[in-house]
Amino acid sequence: MIDELAYVVIALAVVAVIWGLVTAVINKPPGKAQLLFAAGLEIVTVVQSIIAAAMLATGFRPMELATTIGYLIGIVILIPIAWFWANAERNRFSGLVLAVAALAVLAMTLRLLVLWTPAA
Amino acid sequence: MTGSPIQPADSTVLKTNSGAGRVLVAVYGIFALAATARASVQLLTRFDEAPLAYLLSALAALVYIVATITLARGTRASRRLALIAIMIELAGVLFVGTLSVVDPEAFPRATVWSVYGIGYGFVPLVLPILGLAWLWRTRPVNH
């Protein structure tokens, strides 16, 4: 895991959360730009998980290995599922669904930053 | 809990999975994922450290999975299962939450429901209440 990349994920996720809240408040389904932005967040998240997996494969050992692996896998499936769920019924709540997923990505990234500590 | 019930287009299919219900399903889905992952790690790697806490973790995971699927299906039959799951969820978070505060020794390791879900921003405490309120809002209307 690269800390700087984690900060990028956090920043993108914050924007995605706010964007989802805004479209819900103004009663609009997510637009194309918003959906592409969510896809961008997903791509950066996937890149981060791949980098972390490579570091684990080459010998890095965090304190809680099993939990860390669980987070690295779990974090990449949230946005795709939310994307499908948000588009299956498009209205103001679609944006909230995306916001919820982005908030989870945000929380999991913060947790990963803590988990990513070398085992003593 | 005073809102008027949403009139379903088809009176036999009630939409727990429509409108705001979709956000509820999304949150339940995330907790199903989180609780399942957490319980799996706990049960597989260190079950003997705190068997009670970890079995309750597994129960929490099961409850979230059932609630997610049944709310997402939104049929009349799935509503009943959703109600049961969410009532167990509410009882679980209150029981485990209280026990973990009164007797921390019983819960040396955290579960989703420890201290009423403090590790998850107390969402585990609010979620079953929202779930029950939503089931009430979308309840069947008998003419």
pLDDT of residue B81: 97
Nearest to A81 among B19, B27, B29 (CB): B29
Give the gyration radius of chain B's Cα atoms. Answer: 16
Q: Read off the pLDDT of residues A9-31 as tens digits, 9 standing for 90 and up.
A: 999 999 999 999 999 999 999 99
For residues A71 and A115, is the Cβ–Cβ distance under 8 A? yes
Nearest to A100 among B30, B33, B38 (CB): B30
In the predicted model, residues of chain B with pLDDT beneath 50 are 1, 11-13
What is the overall mean pLDDT for chain A? 96
Measured CA to CA, the distance from residue B45 to residue B39 in angstroms comes to: 10
The enclosing H or E element of A28 equals: none
CB contact under 8 A, A82 and B26: yes
The enclosing H or E element of A29 equals: none
Q: Give the global pTM.
A: 0.90
